Chain A
Amino acid sequence: MSIELKKALYNISALADLGQEITSENNFQEKIQSVFYVITGTFLANRGAILAYDKKTARLGVLTQKGFSPADLARIQPEELRMFSKNEPFLLAGTSLPAVAGAELLVPLWVRNEFIGALLLGGKLTVDPYTPEDIELLNVIAHQIAIALNNHTLFVDLSDKLEENRRLYEEMRHIYHGTLQAFAAAIDAKDAYTKNHSHRVAKYSAAIARELGWNEHDIEGMYVAGYLHDVGKLAISNDLLNKVTPFTPDERAELRKHSTLSHNITEKIKFPWKNVEDMVWHHHERLDGRGYPEALARESLSDGVRILTLADSFDAMTSQRPYRQKMDVASAITELKKCLDSQFDNRILLAFCRVLDKEIKGELPEPDILPHLESISDLSVISVLLQAIIAELSPPENSPA
């Protein structure tokens, strides 16, 4: 085999190496380093550099280099390189470009009309001059490197935009939650006895949903429904909400309008979560169909409604009201259990008991229910009660949950 043929095969092999490195799963810096080795190894160049154009600073940055002085490389101005042909290698000697000690060849890298960077090569170890074949091969290599650099820039730009969108979305979520909390505070401020009720119901509901294995998006929807379930109370008179004596039938009917009012207000909001307006509308329904406002029963009540109903009732029972004393936690839990089937769902009470039991045992990093329960004198008594209910309501092993 002639030396020319061997050299041609070596060059083809170098192009294959280049393609393999550019398309490899290595990270960008590793790719660039490998590509740089392919180039210096192909031409036996004793010096070399790959420079990338940064559009923001309008400067060339060094991606990798060997043998050049950083100060010399910093003198290469992108504007001066734009005058030369795209991806065409040229000898530096005789040009007006600033001298870079040891540099012989320069290739401005372009993709279509976009200036991408530059490739710089020193002389060969063999001291042979670059041949026309070398220049031709370098031109092909330059095209490939330019595309690889451009793809990386596009990828980084996209990643930056994605990150910015994520940040904006998080900010919006933050504002959204802040607005919801302001609404909840406005609702709770109307009734001195229900201070922070919406906040607690939101927390309890989300904790139950999480225990049931809901995904984070749906848990967030449950949390929002908890916050807004009483928003309709904004339209109920303060006198009625804060009335100390028992309600008359008319007053009770007026008060009961709040869940429909909550629905009317929330249905106008385009929530990113499903069924928020349904949950707030029906949070006073009962499994036996004796609730309000629509007297829906069992199959008509979603899990979200069932969770909200239980969380709302539990917080109502364990909170002081103008017309009655608050219940202790054990009594409230016993009351919830007493109302299973008629009012509350077995699965939901089971999940509630499980999550509260875990919180008491310190098994959850951020408890949602326990911090809101005032003065539980004996947690072990509550835990025994919870475990008894859990044992009773848990489906037998080997049977579907």
Chain B
Amino acid sequence: MKAVKFSVVSRLEGNTAVIYPKGYLNNLSGESLVVECGNYIGSGITNIVVNFSETDLINSIGISMLLQIIENLKNIHGTICFTNMSKFLRETFEMLGLINHMTVFPLESDALQYLKAGNL
């Protein structure tokens, strides 16, 4: 498989930031995902959705980055949801036991609805 250079795009949906990581989350370039989330947290956003539709693979470095984001949200009592995971990603998170510390939805719209309901 040809590795796609990792990049991150994002958008604001109400008071929720939706982050779209793209490519293989396996090296220091993945820090841009932590930075992007950090920027939203810094601007007062406490709800983040990470849409993994364009990230099929992850390694220990990528896991470390996700740990950082999860902890950052935990520290501000925020909520982070993960959506559109590939089978590989989901199985990796399950195997590590990380899935129990994540709020996971099949689709981005499900996560947004959940967060919207939670904020009512």
Contacts and interface: CB of A to CB of B under 8 A. Distances in A.
Contact of B60 (A3, A6, A42, A46): A42
Interface residues of B: mostly helix, strand, loop or mixed? helix
Interface stretch (B37-45, B78-86, B91-99, B104-112): B91-99
B101 A10 contact: no
Nearest to A11: B60
Nearest to B97: A126
Contact of A10 (B62, B64, B92): B92
B32 to A, nearest CB: 14
Contacts of A44: 63, 67, 96-98
B28 A17 contact: no
Given A10-B92, A30-B28, A125-B101, A41 B59 contact: yes
Chain B interface size, as a band, is: 20 to 34
A41 B63 contact: yes
Chain A interface size, as a band, is: 20 to 34
A7 B64 CA distance: 16
Contacts of A126: 96-98, 100-101
Given A10-B96, A46-B71, A37 B65 contact: yes
Given A10-B92, A33-B28, A44-B67, A125 B98 contact: yes
A366 interface: no
B25 to A, nearest CB: 10
A3 B70 CA distance: 23
Nearest to B27: A34
B92 A17 contact: no
B28 A34 contact: yes
Q: Which of B60, B62, B91 has the most CB of A within 10 A?
A: B60
Contact of B67 (A3, A13, A17, A41): A41
A223 B75 CA distance: 69
Nearest to A13: B59
Interface of B: 26-28, 59-65, 67-68, 70-71, 91-92, 95-98, 100-101
